[in-house]
Chain A
């Protein structure tokens, strides 16, 4: 809560220094805001600089080669960048799913969050694509051979293709929302939702269908990914809506407060579902294949136990769960604090999901000297900077979006 107060004070001071009247033309808005008051400009500038610096570091990594620049190895080829990619696209899918409850399925309470959520879904998927652009060795070949040499049994192919479609539909939806064409926006939203859920379950399927990796293998991953996307989406909606109102120096109206109350309740329910799911994943994992048991041991009581108990469980789920209940879904500041913790914990969930699945060597059970121990992965400076760049990109787009689209005010009926 201490963090919350300090941070909100900063944001308040930024927002209060800002003029809140805008021209109707969005382009003149851009110009107006770029020439706006100091603190907003500073925040925007910092985000811009972060993105710029991260891009430079990313290009440097590309230049010296990922094998040198990144901490990934033959045995652990997926590092923090894949974790961050999963984090961003999970958030995007979650924003899409949770906001669709209102603007696709017509639940009145969820209507006010629609525009901002759709905008942020586009922003976060783009951040995800940006991060993975710096992970995949030959991203340009992907654009070509995904089209002319598709492998329909590959989850990566489906994920890439469906996420492409997802991004397209979400952009179309957002444009239609801006144009006030809510009926067509609903159809675009429905297509976006269907492609997003399919894409996202395929992302889970990438892990779930690697039958040589018992920690991942099975139908759990695609299901878990969808459930945890909704949890992430709820956290992101509360987080960004709260900040959006602070930046715009506006007071929430009743419908928006009721929307956040509904999202908070949904978040609480999903935390409970996720805890239930994951408890059973652990219980079954601990009696499984020796490789799987070794991975879960590392997670529960080994090198990843701080990540797991501290970040994933306490910060990601248990404390927010208590805070949500305690806030009675009306104390927005407390719910915001819960969402900050959730987002932090969820980032670690994605990281652990990716890395812990690889730390048990393929030949672990063969008992050879070379692979008798768990493998180690540490992210390098280059990798961390690319991740920070992804975060900066979201921050930059969010700030611009709040001003350009006037706090995403929407009157969907």
Chain B
């Protein structure tokens, strides 16, 4: 048992269905580390990484991937300029009818002051990816090193089960590639060529998208996720996908 009672090694066992214990442990992490939203309802704001781990080194050692690529979306900073979407389109040759990332709007009529917020979404590069389990030919797979969900286009039969398996609507069928496509954190177009940021994170004028290595205590994503002052959450936590895209405000 790891300090804080959390066995982070289990996070890597994405191909095994979560057992009751594992799931409970994960939920515990979710509740302790991050404040968790479900369907927009905040039910825990106790962000408590400090209590969960004896030291940052424990976290560092037990993150399943190195680098463990992750994105923190600072939701209140997004101004819906859509430059991220454009940059993504150009960088990754995304056709007009599709998208790898988009910004959704949410109106809150009863709110005081600002009444609309913007929610950028993209592939969550889950540690427990339903798409990878569903794919009959291993065309979708999780990279052993960095945890990004990649697609081997030539193996895709186009059954679209992964499109339905994804709780984040991250996937679409790309006619040009003759395969399902989705965000891969610009792995082929930028990260593998030495760039440090995804196209969307690099172009965002409001620094709403913070990209980095979650296993590196020096990285900004690490620092945002592992603080306790502000709540951090993930989308659709009830599905148990263990996403690597986090959301926060402030």
Distance in Å: Cβ of B156 to nearest Cβ of chain A: 6
User: Contact between A151 and B40 (Cβ–Cβ < 8 Å)?
Assistant: no
**Could you say which residues of chain A place their CB within 8 Å of the CB of B138?**
145, 149-151
Distance in Å: Cβ of B211 to nearest Cβ of chain A: 22
Which of B163, B178, B236 has the most chain A CB within a 10 Å cutoff? B163
With contact pairs A67-B173, A142-B157, A366-B119 given, residues A212 and B239 touching in the complex (Cβ less than 8 Å): yes
**Could you say which residues of chain B place their CB within 8 Å of the CB of A142?**
136-137, 157, 159
User: Contact between B104 and A154 (Cβ–Cβ < 8 Å)?
Assistant: no
User: Contact between A369 and B167 (Cβ–Cβ < 8 Å)?
Assistant: no
In the assembled complex, the Cα of A122 lies from the Cα of B79 at a distance in Å of 58
**Could you say which residues of chain B place their CB within 8 Å of the CB of A213?**
164
Contact with A along B172-197 (1 / 0, CB 8 A): 11010011000000000000000000
**Could you say which residues of chain B place their CB within 8 Å of the CB of A139?**
157
**Could you say which residues of chain B place their CB within 8 Å of the CB of A358?**
164
With contact pairs A67-B175, A137-B158, A369-B105 given, residues A145 and B168 touching in the complex (Cβ less than 8 Å): no
Neighbour of A141 across the interface among B134, B155, B166, CB < 8 A:
B155
In the assembled complex, the Cα of A77 lies from the Cα of B173 at a distance in Å of 9
User: Contact between B161 and A151 (Cβ–Cβ < 8 Å)?
Assistant: no
Q: B240 within 8 Å of A by Cβ?
A: yes
User: Contact between B155 and A74 (Cβ–Cβ < 8 Å)?
Assistant: no
**Could you say which residues of chain A place their CB within 8 Å of the CB of B167?**
212, 362
In the assembled complex, the Cα of A157 lies from the Cα of B139 at a distance in Å of 12
In the assembled complex, the Cα of A154 lies from the Cα of B140 at a distance in Å of 11
**Could you say which residues of chain A place their CB within 8 Å of the CB of B104?**
363, 366, 368-371
User: Contact between B119 and A368 (Cβ–Cβ < 8 Å)?
Assistant: yes
| Nearest B residue to A151, CB-CB | B138
Q: A78 within 8 Å of B by Cβ?
A: yes
In the assembled complex, the Cα of A136 lies from the Cα of B154 at a distance in Å of 14
In the assembled complex, the Cα of A78 lies from the Cα of B239 at a distance in Å of 21
**Could you say which residues of chain B place their CB within 8 Å of the CB of A153?**
15, 133
**Could you say which residues of chain B place their CB within 8 Å of the CB of A138?**
156-158, 178-179
Q: B243 within 8 Å of A by Cβ?
A: no
Q: B160 within 8 Å of A by Cβ?
A: yes
Q: B27 within 8 Å of A by Cβ?
A: no
> What DSSP secondary structure best describes chain B's contact surface?
loop
Q: A20 within 8 Å of B by Cβ?
A: no
In the assembled complex, the Cα of A214 lies from the Cα of B98 at a distance in Å of 25
Q: B86 within 8 Å of A by Cβ?
A: no
How many residue pairs, one in A and one in B, have C-beta atoms under 8 Å apart?
143
**Could you say which residues of chain A place their CB within 8 Å of the CB of B105?**
368-370
Q: B235 within 8 Å of A by Cβ?
A: yes
Q: A146 within 8 Å of B by Cβ?
A: yes
User: Contact between B136 and A151 (Cβ–Cβ < 8 Å)?
Assistant: yes
User: Contact between A146 and B130 (Cβ–Cβ < 8 Å)?
Assistant: no
**Could you say which residues of chain A place their CB within 8 Å of the CB of B134?**
154-156, 206, 209-210
**Could you say which residues of chain B place their CB within 8 Å of the CB of A67?**
97, 173, 175
Q: B135 within 8 Å of A by Cβ?
A: yes
Distance in Å: Cβ of B233 to nearest Cβ of chain A: 11
Contact with B along A331-369 (1 / 0, CB 8 A): 000000000000000000000000000100111011111
| Nearest B residue to A362, CB-CB | B169
With contact pairs A211-B240, A368-B106 given, residues A77 and B163 touching in the complex (Cβ less than 8 Å): yes
Q: A45 within 8 Å of B by Cβ?
A: no
Distance in Å: Cβ of A187 to nearest Cβ of chain B: 29
User: Contact between A154 and B164 (Cβ–Cβ < 8 Å)?
Assistant: no
In the assembled complex, the Cα of A212 lies from the Cα of B241 at a distance in Å of 9
Distance in Å: Cβ of B122 to nearest Cβ of chain A: 13
| Nearest B residue to A77, CB-CB | B160
User: Contact between A363 and B121 (Cβ–Cβ < 8 Å)?
Assistant: yes
In the assembled complex, the Cα of A142 lies from the Cα of B157 at a distance in Å of 5
Distance in Å: Cβ of A200 to nearest Cβ of chain B: 17
Q: A310 within 8 Å of B by Cβ?
A: no
In the assembled complex, the Cα of A290 lies from the Cα of B40 at a distance in Å of 13
User: Contact between A154 and B154 (Cβ–Cβ < 8 Å)?
Assistant: no
User: Contact between B121 and A145 (Cβ–Cβ < 8 Å)?
Assistant: no
Q: A160 within 8 Å of B by Cβ?
A: yes
In the assembled complex, the Cα of A173 lies from the Cα of B141 at a distance in Å of 39
Contact with B along A194-221 (1 / 0, CB 8 A): 0000000000001001111100000000
Q: B11 within 8 Å of A by Cβ?
A: no
Neighbour of B39 across the interface among A206, A210, A212, A365, CB < 8 A:
A365
User: Contact between B136 and A211 (Cβ–Cβ < 8 Å)?
Assistant: no
Q: B87 within 8 Å of A by Cβ?
A: no
User: Contact between A157 and B136 (Cβ–Cβ < 8 Å)?
Assistant: yes
Neighbour of B160 across the interface among A78, A141, A149, CB < 8 A:
A78
Distance in Å: Cβ of A291 to nearest Cβ of chain B: 9
With contact pairs A211-B239, A362-B169, A370-B105 given, residues A136 and B164 touching in the complex (Cβ less than 8 Å): no
User: Contact between A136 and B159 (Cβ–Cβ < 8 Å)?
Assistant: yes
In the assembled complex, the Cα of A110 lies from the Cα of B58 at a distance in Å of 67
User: Contact between B136 and A212 (Cβ–Cβ < 8 Å)?
Assistant: no
Pairs A–B under 8 Å by Cβ, sample size 22: A136-B157, A136-B159, A137-B160, A138-B158, A141-B137, A141-B157, A142-B157, A142-B159, A145-B136, A146-B157, A149-B137, A149-B155, A151-B137, A153-B15, A153-B133, A156-B135, A206-B161, A363-B121, A365-B38, A365-B40, A366-B40, A367-B39
Which A residues form the contact surface with B (CB < 8 A)? Answer: 65-67, 74-75, 77-78, 136-139, 141-142, 145-146, 149-151, 153-157, 160, 206, 209-213, 289-290, 358, 361-363, 365-371
New contact pairs (19) apart from A145-B155, A212-B236, A369-B104, CB-CB < 8 Å: A65-B175, A67-B173, A138-B156, A142-B157, A145-B136, A146-B136, A149-B139, A151-B135, A151-B136, A153-B133, A160-B136, A209-B134, A210-B165, A212-B241, A358-B164, A363-B121, A366-B119, A367-B39, A370-B104
Chain A to chain B: the 6 pairs with minimum beta-carbon distance, closest first: A137-B158, A212-B167, A145-B137, A157-B136, A365-B39, A77-B160
